[in-house]
Amino acid sequence: MRVVTNESLIERSRRLAQILFFVSIAFLIGSFFLSTQVGASGDLGFYFQCVTIPVLFGLVLLSVRMTNAWVRQPHPWMALQEGLKGIGSETSLYNFVMPAPHVIAHSSGVFAIVTRFQDSPQKVVDDTWHTSRSLLAFMRQEQLGNPTEEARLKARKTELFLQELLRDDTIRVQPLVVFISPAANVTIEGEQTVPVLYANPDKKKYSLKNYLRDAKSCNYPTLSKDQLDQLDDLLLYED
């Protein structure tokens, strides 16, 4: 399997997550000391708190979100690569070089992947997700959102991107939702228009690896070797 990853984007994003963490800590400490200075001045102390508390709250949430996306393990780009070991040389995995964060070009088709790191129990019935909406999940920025709709949107944008880049209107991209945590546990009921899978190859029925192998029977359009070589020329060395 070939892997093309935008390492510079990952490094910049991880550095930004770390900076945001330390900035939020510094802002918390600084606002505490400043509040003690202005707290005795009545209205000024009140207005000071009205400004600093929302800013601090926003900084903390942004820091947590960035940490979940770029620092928290397992890293999605590594989990996908690990889960696809042994799938064969006809597979290419692209990380952060197209509108979808992860794109797989395989002999069975082209797939845009959105990942989820959650390891708490989740449930999807048809295309409707049932998940916790607790305050703790919000503070930890662990809301699941709607991965099905997100995957559809990313697939469509990637499809248009590839059609324009390779000048081929016949290119089609299929959406996938992949949970990357080894402890992920999703109850899947009904019929999903977007497959819900695991990066972990031990999840036999719903593993990404097995899905790609079985998807050959669907006859999805895929990229030719010439198109893959063209993608290398256009994307491999972009920063």
**225 plus 108 within the same structural domain:** yes
Tell me how far apart the alpha carbons of residues 81 and 60 are, in angstroms, rounded to a whole number.
31
**19 plus 99 within the same structural domain:** no
Number of domains forming the structure of the chain: 2
In Å, how far from its chain's centre is CA 183? 17
Segment 99-125, tens digit of pLDDT: 999 999 998 999 999 999 998 889 999
Tell me how far apart the alpha carbons of residues 204 and 234 are, in angstroms, rounded to a whole number.
35
Q: What is the pTM of this model?
A: 0.85
Of 70, 86, 113, the residue at which a domain comes to its end is 70
**116 plus 54 within the same structural domain:** no
Total residues found in the chain within this entry: 239
**19 plus 128 within the same structural domain:** no
Of 48, 70, 92, the residue at which a domain comes to its end is 70
Segment 200-233, tens digit of pLDDT: 988 878 999 999 999 988 889 999 888 988 888 8
* Contact assessment for residue 225 and residue 90, using Cβ atoms and an 8 Å cutoff: no
In which domain, by residue range, is 175 found?
Answer: 76-235
